[in-house]
Amino acid sequence: FRHLRGRIQELEQMAKEQDKESEKQALLREVENHKKQMLSNQAAWRKANLACKIAIDNSEKDQLLQGRDILRQRKTTKESLAESASNITESLMGISRMMSQQVQQSEETVQTLANSSRTILEANEEFKSMSGTIQLGRKLITKYNRRELTDKLLIFLALALFLATVLYILKKRLFPFL
């Protein structure tokens, strides 16, 4: 139980260290589920232990009340103690297996969260690099738009100069007296 409690505390600490709130909440719910399961396992273990003790006590009482001879009582008591010890051991083994499965499930959950966190960090880095590329593209487009406006203005001024020159030449040749 101490080992399981320690693993649950590690999972809770990992949950508190998560940056993303949804992952943090999911891990905290998982921690609560594991805590509840551990408490129910402890209660089941205690109940099984208490039931075995009561059964042993009742068996001893019955044997004493029946008035059998001492050797037979000892033999029966030893057999019942061995049987109850065997039952307790089987109960404890079952609880141990359940706890082991819970710990394994917690480890798989932690591994899955670590993988998803790594994927999110990689996507974030890729987003940052794409953002830089988009900013550079925006600057280049703005620069080309300014050059296009400048080119149009120069063409308009050149055309106006050309037309003014043509009008001046026509005026001097057709109307030299003006």
pLDDT at residue 75, as a whole number: 62
Residue 143: the pLDDT is: 93
Q: Answer whether residue 27 shows pLDDT above 60.
A: yes
Reported pTM: 0.36
pLDDT, mean of residues 62-83: 67
In the three-class reduction of DSSP (H, G, I as helix; E, B as strand; rest coil), residue 88 is classed as helix
In the predicted structure, residue 68 carries a pLDDT above the cut 60? no
Q: For residue 3, name the pLDDT band (cuts at 50, 70, 90).
A: confident
The pLDDT tens digits of the residues spanning 125-158 come to 888 889 889 999 999 999 999 999 999 999 999 9
| More confident site: 66 or 15 | 15
Report the pLDDT averaged over residues 22-28.
84
How many residues make up the chain in this entry? 178
The mean pLDDT of 42-50, rounded to a whole number, is 88
pLDDT of residue 15: 81
pLDDT value of position 70: 55
Q: Residue 21: which residues within 8 A CB-CB, separation 6 or more?
A: none
**CA–CA–CA angle 126, 130, 132 (5° rounding):** 120
- pLDDT averaged over every residue in the chain: 86
- Percent of the chain exceeding pLDDT 70 equals 92
pLDDT surpasses 80 at 77: no
100 alpha carbon, distance to own chain's centre = 21
